[in-house]
Amino acid sequence: MSTEAAPTEAMSNLNITSKGTAKRDALRANEVAVQQKWEEAKAYESDPDATKESFLVTFPYPYMNGVLHIGHGFSLTKAVFRAQFERHRGKNVLFPFGFHCTGMPIQAAANKLKAEIANYGLPPAFPEDDPAVRAEMERKAAEEAAAKAKAAQSNDKKAKGGKTKLVAKTGTGIVRQWTILKKMVPEEIISEFVDPNKWLSYFPPIGVDHLKKFGAGVDWRRSFITTAVNPYYDAFIRWQFNTLRKKGKVLFGKRNNIYSLLDGQVCADHDRSEGEGVGPQEYVIIKLRVLEFPGKLAALEGRDVFLAPATLRPETMYGQTNCFVLPEGKYGAYEMENGEVFIISERAARNMSCQGYTSEFGKVTCLVELTGTELLGLPLSAPNATYERVYTLPLLTISMGKGTGVVTSVPSDAPDDYVSLKALQDKPEFREKYGITAEMVEPFQVVPIIEIAGYGDASAVFMCEKLKIKSFNDKAKLAQAKDETYLKGFNFGVMTYGPHKGKKVCDAKPIIKQEMIDANQACLYFEPESKVMSRTGDECVVAATDQWYLAYGEESWAKAVREHIFSESFTAYDETALGKYDYTVGWLKEWACTRQFGLGTQLPWDEQWVIESLSDSTIYMAYYTIAHHLQGEDNLDGSKDSPAAIDAADLTDEVFDFVFNNADMPADSKVDATMLEKMQKEFRYWYPMNLRVSAKDLIPNHLTMALYNHAAIWDDEPGMWPRGYYTNGHVLVDAEKMSKSKGNFLMLNETVEKYSCDATRFACADAGDTIDDANFSRETADSAIVSLSNEMAWIKEVLDSKDSLRTGDDLNFMDKVILNETRRLVKLTEESFESMQFREGLQKGWFEMLNARNQYRSWCSISDVPMHKDLIMTWIESVIVLICPVCPHWSEMQWTAIGKNGLAVKATWPDVGEEDKLLTRQALFLRKALPHFRSLQGKAKKGCNKGSVLVKDSYPQWKVDTLTWMRSQYDSSNSEFPASFMGDLKKWAMSLPDKKMMKNIMQFASFMRNEAKEVGLQALELSLPFDQKSILVDSEQYLKSQLELEEISIFNLDTDENIPEIPDRIRDNVTPGKPYLYMHA
C-alpha cells in the first residue's frame, strides 16, 4: 500500500506549461510539494518550550480591502527571513499573522459600490461604457489635466503630462468600485460586496492562501480578523481601552483634528487615500480692516470687513507694508458668527466653519463673490503696522490651496515679500497692468523689526542681495533665503521694534500672538499641513470636535517611551529610523481614537463611538500569544467553536487582567482556571516581542503608538515592551514606482506563479535593506530561477558521482581554502542576517559561497585532482541552510536529496569551525594574483609568450617605514584607521627627507589601508607570514591553464638562486603579497 500523501488542491491545480518555463515549473512543483510537507508536519506551529529561548516576530496585519501585492511581500520577507534564521539558531520562533478590517476603507468602498448599483443598475451600465460619451469624458479630462499642468508650470511646480495619473489609469478620470472588484472577484458576486461584512469573509481567507503559497512560515492557528465581527478580538480591544481609561490615558474634549465633512467624522491616517501622516497646522489670522468699499464691496459698507491673511509669524506684523492677493484667485466675503466679514478663499472658509467661527458647523455664508483683481488697490488698516494705511497688491505665486489665499507682506524678514514689493516699485509698467499707482507702493520702505547677528536688521534684504535674487521667479534661491531667514530669525533674532524690543523672537512670538488675539486683531486658524483626501473622495479640513482621544502628549508617558527608545532594551536597526521615532514622540500629542461610524469595536463606556483603526492595533501582538486557544485555525472571525471551549462573552476584563497583567485569578470566571493559567504562562513565555517589521511609513503612527500603548498597559513592567523595530523603505519594481499603467504593479500571488516562490523571495532579498526605497528586479527573479535550478542540477551531479570523489585526511592547499571559505562565509552570513542585512547575507551565503565553490571546482578540474568528498558535502550542507531563510523550498528539496532526516527549516545553523584568518589571507593572495597576472599579460609585447612569476619576502626601506607608521595609527580595538588618516599621512610624508617619494608613499599607504580593511592588522606586517612561492607552485597547473601559457616559472627574488636576468624596473614592481608576472620571449 502506498504511503504517499494525496496531492493538495494547489498541487492538482498547478499549471506546468510552456517549454520555456521548465525550470520555473520544476521549482513551483517542488514548492507545492514542500508546502504540503510542512503542513502535514505542522512545521510552523510553535508552543512554549522551556528548554528553548523564545523569539516572537510580528508584522503589521494588512488591510483587507483587496489582495496582497509585492509591496506587502517585500516588507514581509524581512520578518520571514529573520524568523527562519532564528529557527536555525535553535530558538523557538513564533511568527503569527492577522488581518485588519477596522475603519473606513471597507465601509467607504461598500457604500460606493452600493451607490453605483443604485445609480447605474445591476450590472452597472456606466456612462463611459458608451464610446461617444467616453470620448467626450476623455477630452474633458485631458483638458483639465493640461490646464492643471499649465498652472503648475506657472507656479514653478512639477508639471505633469497631458493626463493625470487617474486619467492614465481609467481613460476618463473616473474610478469605479465595480471595476476594481471585477479584477479581484467573480463578477456574479460583486453585488454582495455592498455589505461590508462580505469583504471580511472574502478577502482574509485569500490572504491566508496567498501567504501560504509565499512560504510565509506562519502559525495559522493564531490568525484572526479585527472588528466586532470577531467577538474574541472585540473583547480584547474592549479590555485594552478600559485599561487605558483606568490609567487616565483616554480623555474627552474638543480637539482639532483632520476631518471629513462628507463622512462626518475625524479622518485618521488609514482612512485617507492621500495625505497619510499629515496633521493640523496652526496659523494666526491677521485682521486687515477694509477702509473703502468700491464695486461689489459697496454691499458690505458699514460692516466690519477684513482681508484675513494666515501667518506663521505674528511677531513680524510691525513690519507690514502691504497685503497680497492672487489676481486670478477666487475669493469670497464670508460672514462669521460674531458678525465680522472675512475676505478669504472658499477653502479657508470651509476650514473656519469647522472651528467655531460660523453660526453652523460646516456651513459657510458667502455674502459677495470676488476675484483677486477686484481687491487690488484696496486700502487697509493693518494691526501693529507702522504705516497707517497699506494697500492690496498683486502676487502671482500665491497658492490658493494653502492658507487663506491672502498674504500679508513683511519685506524686512520675508524674502518673497521683499522681491515682490521691489518689482512693483521698480517696474511702473508691471504695476500699471494691475491698476496699482505709485502712491500705493513707492512710499512703503522696509521697516527693520528684528536684528539677527550676521544678517543685520533686515534679513530678507540681506539674503536677497547675498544670493543675487532679482525676481520672484528665482524660486530655488528664494526658498533657500526663506528657510535661512526664518530659522535664524526664530532661534537667534532679537526684536528691535515695538513694546517687546530687546526680547528674543522665540520668547516674544507667543506673547505678541496672544496680545493680538486678546485685542481682537487676530484669531487662530487651523488647516491640514498639506492636502488630505478621505477614501470617500472628500478633501479634508481641520475641525474642532468633541472627541475621545489618547493623551500621547502627557509628559511622563512620552518620557517613558523616549527613554525606552534610547535604551539598550530597544533596537531600531538604523540611526535614521531611531531619529524618526524620537521626532514622532516629540510631536505626537493628542490622538482622536474614535469615530462615529465605520467598522471596529465600540468604545465600551460610550457605544456611540467606534475605536478607529490605528488605535485598535497597538498591542494585538499580545493577543497572538493566546489566540490559538480562543479561536484556532480556520476560524478567522471566531464564529466556530473555540479550541479551549471558551465563550467570548466570558472574556471579562478580569480574565484579561489575569492573563496579561498578573492580576488575581478572577473568582467567578466561567473560563477554566487551568486554561487561564496556561494562557498566562504562554503570554509570559513569548513576551516581550523581539522584533516587529514594517515599512517606514508606520513610524509616525502605528509603530510609535504601539510603544506608547505597551508602556501604558504594562507601565510597571518595562520588560514587556517591544525589543526591536525594523523598518524598510518602499519597494520599486524595476527602478520605477509600481503602477498599473506602467505594467509593473505586481500582485503577490501572480508574482509567485510567474517566477516561483523562492525566486520571488530571492529578488526581495536582493532588493535592499535600508530605510531608503528598494528595487525589486524582475530580471533578478528570472536569474534566480536559473541559479537555483543550476545548483540543484550540480548537487545531483555530485551525489551521482560521490564515489569518484577524493577522501582521506591529506588536504591540499585548495582543500583547506574551500573549508576555510565555508567557515568565513557562514559567519558573515550569520552576522548579516542578525543585523537584518539580507542583501548582504545573500551576497555572502549564496553568491560568494558559489564563487568559492566555483574556484575550488575549477582548480581541481584543471589540476586533475578530484574534489574532496567530505569538504564538498560540508559546503553543500552549509549552503542549503544558509539560503534556507530566503529560499526554503529549494533548501527543503536539497536537504532530502542529500539524505538528511527531518526538515531543512528545522536544521541547525552550520557548525563548521572558526575561520583561519591567515589562510583567508593566503587564499586572497592567490585570488587577487590571477586577475593581476591577466592584466600584466595583456600589456606584454607581441612575441612574449613565456611567463615568470616573481615574488618577494621583504619591502624596500621606504615601505618598511610607511608600514611602521601605519601600524602606529591603526586602532586594533575597532579594526580601523582614524578618520584623519590621509591628512595625517600627508603630514608625516612631508616630514621625510626625500620629498620625491611622497607620491609613492601616498599610493602605497592607500593600497595597504584597503588591504587592512579586508584582513586586519596582519596586512601591515613587515614580512608575510606565509610562503608565497609555495602557494603559487601548488597552483602552477591552474595558473598555466587560466593564463593559457605552455610554460611558467616561479621565482622568489629574495631567496632563489640562478634567477634569469630580470630588469630592475620589473624587480621594483614586486612587493610582498603582490606577485608580478614577467612576460618574456
CA nearest to 1037, candidates 853, 712, 812: 812
What is the C-alpha separation between 884 and 82, in angstroms, rounded?
Answer: 11
Q: Are 476 and 416 in contact (CB under 8 A)?
A: no
What is the C-alpha separation between 37 and 787, in angstroms, rounded?
Answer: 24
Please list, in sequence order, all residues whose beta carbon lies within 8 angstroms of the beta carbon of residue 912, skipping any fewer than 6 positions away.
Answer: 819, 822, 823, 826, 874, 878
Helix axes 575-587, 704-713, angle to 10 degrees: 70
What is the C-alpha separation between 237 and 256, in angstroms, rounded?
Answer: 25
Q: Are 722 and 689 in contact (CB under 8 A)?
A: yes
What is the C-alpha separation between 886 and 81, in angstroms, rounded?
Answer: 6
Residue 743 DSSP class: T
Please, which residues bridge with residue 736 across strands?
A: 733
Helix axes 196-213, 104-120, angle to 10 degrees: 120
Q: Are 650 and 669 in contact (CB under 8 A)?
A: yes
DSSP 269-294: GGGEEE-TT--EEEEEEE-EEE----
Looking at residue 150, its pLDDT comes to 63
What is the C-alpha separation between 883 and 905, in angstroms, rounded?
Answer: 11
pLDDT along the chain (1081 residues), means of 10: 36 43 96 97 98 98 95 97 98 98 90 94 91 84 72 48 42 77 95 96 97 98 97 98 98 91 86 86 97 96 97 96 96 97 97 95 96 97 96 94 96 94 94 95 95 94 92 86 89 93 93 96 96 90 93 96 97 95 92 91 96 96 98 96 97 98 95 97 98 95 97 97 96 89 88 97 96 94 97 97 94 96 98 97 98 95 94 98 98 97 97 94 90 88 86 90 93 88 91 86 90 83 88 90 89 91 88 90 78
What is the C-alpha separation between 50 and 92, in angstroms, rounded?
Answer: 9
CA nearest to 239, candidates 651, 672, 683: 651
295 Ramachandran zone, left/alpha/beta (phi>0; psi -120 to 50):
left
Q: Are 96 and 624 in contact (CB under 8 A)?
A: yes
The sign of the CA dihedral 727, 733, 735, 738 is: negative
What is the C-alpha separation between 292 and 376, in angstroms, rounded?
Answer: 12
Write down how long the chain is: 1081
The helix (run of H) or strand (run of E) holding residue 509 is helix 505-518
Buried-state track 464-473, b at ≥16 Cβ within 10 A, e below 16: beebebeebe
Please, which residues bridge with residue 149 across strands?
A: none
Angle value at C-alpha 810, between 805 and 811, nearest 5 degrees? 75
What is the C-alpha separation between 875 and 822, in angstroms, rounded?
Answer: 6
Q: Which three cell numbers stand for residue 272?
A: 485617507
Please list, in sequence order, all residues whose beta carbon lies within 8 angstroms of the beta carbon of residue 89, skipping any fewer than 6 positions away.
Answer: 908, 909
Q: Are 273 and 340 in contact (CB under 8 A)?
A: no
**Cβ burial, residue 854 (10 Å; 0-12/13-18/19+):** exposed
What is the C-alpha separation between 532 and 550, in angstroms, rounded?
Answer: 22
Local structure of 733: helix, strand or coil: strand
Q: Are 844 and 829 in contact (CB under 8 A)?
A: yes
Please, which residues bridge with residue 929 across strands?
A: none
The sign of the CA dihedral 863, 866, 871, 876 is: positive
Angle value at C-alpha 755, between 750 and 761, nearest 5 degrees? 95
The helix (run of H) or strand (run of E) holding residue 695 is strand 691-695
CA nearest to 601, candidates 621, 589, 625, 618: 618
User: Tens digits of per-residue pLDDT, 732-743?
Assistant: 999 999 887 778
Q: Which three cell numbers stand for residue 14?
A: 498547478
Q: Which three cell numbers stand for residue 8?
A: 493538495
Please, which residues bridge with residue 947 across strands?
A: 1048, 1079
* CA R_g for the chain: 36
Angle value at C-alpha 608, between 605 and 611, nearest 5 degrees? 75
Give Cα separations from 629 to 61, 665, 667 (angstroms).
20, 18, 21
**Cβ burial, residue 517 (10 Å; 0-12/13-18/19+):** middle
What is the C-alpha separation between 313 and 415, in angstroms, rounded?
Answer: 14
What is the C-alpha separation between 952 and 960, in angstroms, rounded?
Answer: 14
Helix H, strand E, coil C: the string for 951-992 is ECCCCCHHHHHHHHHHHHHCECCCCECCCCHHHHHHHHHHCC
Residue 618 DSSP class: S
DSSP 437-506: -GGGTTT------EEBTTTBT-HHHHHHHHTT--STT-HHHHHHHHHHHHHHHHHH-EE-SSTTTTSBHH
Looking at residue 152, its pLDDT comes to 53
Give Cα separations from 812 to 94, 805, 854, 925 (angstroms).
45, 14, 17, 16
The helix (run of H) or strand (run of E) holding residue 1050 is strand 1048-1052
Local structure of 666: helix, strand or coil: coil
Helix H, strand E, coil C: the string for 34-49 is HHHHHHHHCCCCCCCC
Looking at residue 866, its pLDDT comes to 96
User: Tens digits of per-residue pLDDT, 880-903?
Assistant: 999 999 999 999 999 999 999 999
What is the C-alpha separation between 67 and 623, in angstroms, rounded?
Answer: 24
Q: How many CA atoms lie within 13 A of 951 on its CB side?
A: 22
Q: How many CB atoms are located within 10 Å of the residue 289 CB?
A: 15
